Amino acid sequence: MTRLLAIDTSVWSDDVWIVDSTPVECGRSRETVKRSDLAGWAEYGYCASHSRFFWGLRLHLVCTLQGLLIAFALTGAKANERETLLDLLAAESDLAAARPGQTLIGDKNYFGRDFEHELAEQDIQLLRPARKGEPERSGAPLFKPLRQVIESVNETFKGQLNLEEHRGRTPRGVIARIMQRILALTAAIWHNDRTGQPVLRSLTAYDH
């Protein structure tokens, strides 16, 4: 249902994607970690934006600048972001094949010669900030405002859709709650698109 709604929007075919991942915390106490049914999937990871470690999962997102989800994956907290992205693209090879010359914007974690080569083979141009010691990369003036777009998409999940309070206690429960939020955001974007709203990701009309 999420994919059917996404395809039926005017922004599904956008030629710019953003990619990022965000923590999905599943417990804080040591006892929770020991007893949780999520143990073995959930694990300790580091959240750079909050400068803290957490125990749980990581939601990887590929979406348009309007926040429409193109592809996503839910992994352990330590999963490599680059490998996860390549796995997503491999699992649905038609996504990139149908969009020759697609631009993908990510943060500094999406780096590596082999990684960029694999993207280039799929005709995907990667834009990201330069890492320490690298020369300035193409598109550098755009990264700061676009980073705000990415953080805003994550905040929609965490704030208005309460991703951080999902209360899932089993793999099935967590997956169901994550899918509910993804479907809710996609449905809102679809409805806002159909009704001509200026901001497609806005959930203000549904907050009351």
SS percent in the chain: helix, strand, coil, step 5: 40, 25, 35
Domain membership of residue 205 (yes or no) is no
Q: Is residue 201 part of a domain?
A: no
Which CATH number is 149's domain given?
3.30.420.10
Q: What is the pLDDT of residue 208?
A: 57
Report the pLDDT value the prediction gives residue 146, as an integer from 0 to 100.
Answer: 75
**Structural domain contains residue 36:** yes
Q: Residue 86: its pLDDT value, please? A: 97
Identify the pLDDT of residue 59: 94
Does 49 reside within a domain? yes
Enclosing domain of residue 127: 2-194
Q: What is the pLDDT of residue 149?
A: 81
Residue 206: inside a domain, yes or no? Answer: no
Q: How far is CA 5 from the centre of its chain?
A: 18
pLDDT at 66: 92
pLDDT by residue for the chain (208 residues), tens only, comes to 999 999 999 999 999 999 999 999 998 887 778 788 998 899 999 988 778 899 999 999 999 999 999 999 999 999 999 999 999 999 999 999 999 999 999 988 999 999 999 999 999 999 998 888 888 887 777 777 777 788 888 888 888 888 888 888 899 999 999 999 999 999 999 999 999 999 899 887 776 5
Number of folded domains that form the chain:
1
CA triple 51-146-70, angle to 5 deg? 95
In a domain? residue 199:
no
Q: What's the pLDDT at 153?
A: 85
